[in-house]
Chain A
């Protein structure tokens, strides 16, 4: 059974610092990995999708890396802003069970002005 873990569970940084969020998964047979952002009481907003054949994806200040063999992904957010405060979740998709998305517990981020 695929298990996804995100450490740390919460993170507080001053504005301008870079954020590093970690995601690990137990079964490396994944199709892809996706990072999401969730604001309180809202749905999930997709940030980045990394296919299993890729090593990284970039979008603006966001960069996500994937090391499938070690079961790890890292989301980097450069020059953090108070508006980046949210919960960040990673999810992996594996093909053996009909494209299920399995989530980590999330990292709650607070960027202090």
Chain B
């Protein structure tokens, strides 16, 4: 059974039209991550939550925001998508703290901007 679920798998949006990607987990992990991955590149961390604490990467554009209303769900909002935002968006979870545990990823959402 899928433990980290991302919806939708494929999203097409218009240039400048706000879009929201969603992620849910059944693992009760306290850390959730959002990564952006462009073709043939490493996943790039956008931000992550450690419990309710939001941690934004210094180079994450202001155009990207996130919400985590509860432990199970996390959303990625792109306020005004540009052509350069077309990518695979990956959500991951893990249990944080000393030692840490295995990180689990969803299947990703492929975003196309037209």
- Give A contacts to B, CB under 8 Å: 4, 31-32, 34, 36, 41-46, 49, 51-52, 89, 91, 93, 95, 97-106, 108
Contacts and interface: CB of A to CB of B under 8 A. Distances in A.
Interface string B100-114: 111111111010000
Contacts of B104: 46
Nearest to A103: B42
Interface in B79-114: 88, 90, 92, 94, 96-108, 110
B99 A31 contact: yes
B78 to A, nearest CB: 19
Given A103-B42, A108-B40, 12 more contacts: A34-B102, A36-B105, A43-B107, A44-B92, A45-B105, A49-B102, A89-B42, A95-B100, A98-B53, A99-B48, A99-B97, A106-B42
A34 B103 contact: yes
A98 B96 contact: yes
B102 A46 contact: yes
Given A98-B50, A99-B31, A99-B48, A43 B90 contact: yes
Contact of A98 (B43, B55, B105, B110): B55
B96 A100 contact: no
Given A99-B50, A104-B42, A106-B42, A43 B106 contact: yes
